Chain A
Amino acid sequence: MATIEHNGKTYEVDEDGFLLKGDEWDENWVDYVKTVEGISEITDEHQKVIDALQEYYKKNGIAPMVRILSKTTGFPLKRIYELFPSGPGKGACKMAGLPKPTGCV
């Protein structure tokens, strides 16, 4: 089992560094993902994407379709990629503590 330690707290993660236990998510985790994703500062826009992802996940048990994320946040797809250079499925979901999507994707 891989683990990541950041500021004294330990998280269980999968091979790609996604949280294995969603309830371990906290602000400290966001701070950690920020560094590995090469994001200089968490802005309100980042926060809005994280909140939208978490809210949808809580209701539906899965990450939203990218277009739904774009609609609920009001950010065009391009802006989401600017905010999260590795993309909504990787960077944003990782930061929000959601699991990686699988299947024919």
Chain B
Amino acid sequence: MAVVKVDKLARSVVEGPSLMTGSIPTKPWMEMPVKFKPGNYAYPAKPDILQYLDSQQGLSFPNAHEWNPEDDDWHLPENWKEIIIKGLADRLDRFRSLKIFMDCCVRCGACADKCHFFLGTGDPKNMPVLRAELLRSVYRNDFTLAGKLLGKMAGARPMTAGVLKEWFMYAYQCTECRRCSVFCPYGIDTAEITMMLRELLLMVGLGINWAMGPVTNSNRTGNHMGLTPQAFKGNVDFLCEDIENLTGVKVNPTFNRKGAEILFITPSADVFAEPGIFTCMGYLLLFEYLGLDYTWSTYASEGGNFGLFTTNELMKKLNGKMYAEAKRLGVKWILGGECGHMWRVVHQYMNTMTGPPDFLEVPKSPITGTVFENAKGTKMVHISEFTADLIKHGKLKLDKSRNSHVKATWHDSCNPARAMGLLEEPRYILDHVVDQWWEMPENTIREKTFCCGSGTALNTDEIMELRMRSGLPRANAVRYVHDKHGVNTLACVCAIDRATLTTLMNYWVPEVTVAGLSELVGNALVIEGEQRQELDEGLRTLV
């Protein structure tokens, strides 16, 4: 899918007629049907993928079928309305949060202009309040007295095929980043509303392939990429060879080793694609430097959990394998790599979904003796917490000049920032590994960070224009620090970020590259006996 030229898209965002630029819609929102055309929807999930998942224990993905969003007829099962309403009733019963979010919005509008999708598209239905109304209107109609009696006057509307299509459009124009929730006086979690919309759609066989493909891979081979055990090990070994060529340091990771103290789990893209592989080289060097007693797993070979973007049961299953593997290997605790949404699942759902994992110990750094009390519940520590603690205790010899090619800014990846409060540790690390770095404007960082625009499995190429629109607020802030301070590197701690921000920067701010934080740590790390070549670009130097 070719994307329009950058100046044309920029003009369209700021000058095109939309609610965002002050143009008032001519009709009430309920009377504006959605229209699907190439580029504004992600490809539907292939039926064989859903059928495979449906055959798996504990999972239900019924009604798999061929369909095309652009067709009038989506070939839904005959009783689809009944399925949806029953599904909603069931979820209102199971998830108290959903019931509250359906009831408590006062439509104050605080969320409206906080959404990167609204800012980039100007589409009123991308205001979080209206995204939620897509579901609330049906909830009112079938589950509240006012809605039953007053209908449209009470903001209610019956479930129709048009409503379902609207759900599909806007459940997949939300990255569950939860920036809007920061500004909501009630703390309504739009991510959970989007999750419910996606679950309900999947009950009638409607999903997107970029979400369902990775979860299928993860269920079958242990990771989203679909790396078989031998390919996974082969890739890590290959990176070790690269490290040795670059630094003269021989790295000896182990795999599936019983009795290791720590199990290390990171997103599989870190062992497959640039620039994630440089982050991975950073981990490998750090662990070698420390002589850490750790192991990789080729079974729990994925930190990410696209289950979060599909259904609760699938999320639970994929999360469970990390802990099952920790138990099987007999490790004491888990160290997690630079993943985004993994930390949302681990911090906010794991303990009631899979845990508590009492067979593990409260994580304790074998190097500094620090006990990570904050990870008492999950037994899982973030690599940035672990590294910041090492630096704080003076355990790392770091040479900032090795990152002299880097003028950095820090992108708070949505989930680590908003779902686990990881705000200070990465900044502390940056302070110690690069000479200089600059913050982006205050309303675009920390809890208020702007999403990459392509999370929740929206990082697929066929919706590239949408991605460039929704990523514009983030890119705009990067542009600001690039112009002002000459920033050339956008550092972050998320695999989706590393892939999608690279695309986003290439489009909006091509002078800026994207790097994982552990890559910058690996660059700066001074290791005894090393024979580093002249590495102008650190671990990503081609020699």
List the interface of chain A (C-beta within 8 A of B): 1, 14-16, 59-62, 64-68, 71, 77, 101-105
Contacts and interface: CB of A to CB of B under 8 A. Distances in A.
A15 to B, nearest CB: 5
A61 B226 contact: yes
26 contacts: A1-B66, A59-B230, A60-B230, A61-B221, A61-B226, A62-B225, A62-B231, A65-B235, A71-B238, A101-B225, A101-B272, A102-B210, A102-B213, A102-B217, A102-B224, A102-B225, A102-B226, A103-B214, A103-B267, A104-B267, A104-B268, A104-B273, A104-B276, A104-B496, A105-B273, A105-B499
A61 B262 CA distance: 29
Nearest to B223: A103
Contacts of A66: 273-274
Most buried by A among B214, B225, B274: B225
B225 A105 contact: yes
A101 B235 CA distance: 15
B269 A60 contact: no
Interface of B is mostly: helix
A103 B268 contact: yes
B224 A62 contact: no
B269 A104 contact: yes
Interface string B515-543: 00000000000000000000000000010
Contact of A67 (B210, B231, B242): B242
A81 B157 CA distance: 53
Nearest to A20: B46
A85 to B, nearest CB: 14
A64 B499 CA distance: 17
B227 to A, nearest CB: 6
Contacts of B495: 104
B333 interface: no
B537 to A, nearest CB: 14
A73 B353 CA distance: 46
Contacts of A15: 43, 462
Contacts of A67: 238, 242, 277
A80 to B, nearest CB: 13
Interface in B127-166: none
A103 B277 contact: no
Nearest to A77: B542
- 10 interchain residue pairs of minimum CB distance: A103-B224, A104-B269, A104-B495, A60-B231, A102-B213, A105-B273, A103-B214, A103-B225, A61-B228, A104-B496
Contact of A65 (B210, B272, B496): B272
B234 interface: yes
A38 to B, nearest CB: 14
A71 B241 CA distance: 12
Q: Choose among A14, A16, A103, A105 the residue with the greatest number of B CB atoms under 10 Å from its CB.
A: A103
Contact of B224 (A59, A77, A104): A104
Contacts of B461: 16
B417 to A, nearest CB: 18
Contacts of B277: 65, 67
B304 interface: yes
Given A16-B462, A67-B242, A104-B459, A61 B225 contact: no
B267 A62 contact: no
Contact of B269 (A71, A77, A103): A103
A102 to B, nearest CB: 4
Nearest to B231: A60
Given A103-B268, A104-B224, 17 more contacts: A14-B46, A16-B462, A60-B230, A60-B234, A61-B226, A61-B231, A62-B227, A62-B231, A68-B234, A68-B238, A71-B238, A101-B225, A102-B226, A103-B267, A103-B269, A103-B304, A104-B459
Interface string B257-299: 0000000000111011110110000000000000000000000
Contacts of B214: 102-103
Interface in B216-248: 217, 221, 223-228, 230-231, 234-235, 238, 242
Given A102-B213, A105-B269, A105-B499, A65 B230 contact: no
A1 B68 CA distance: 10
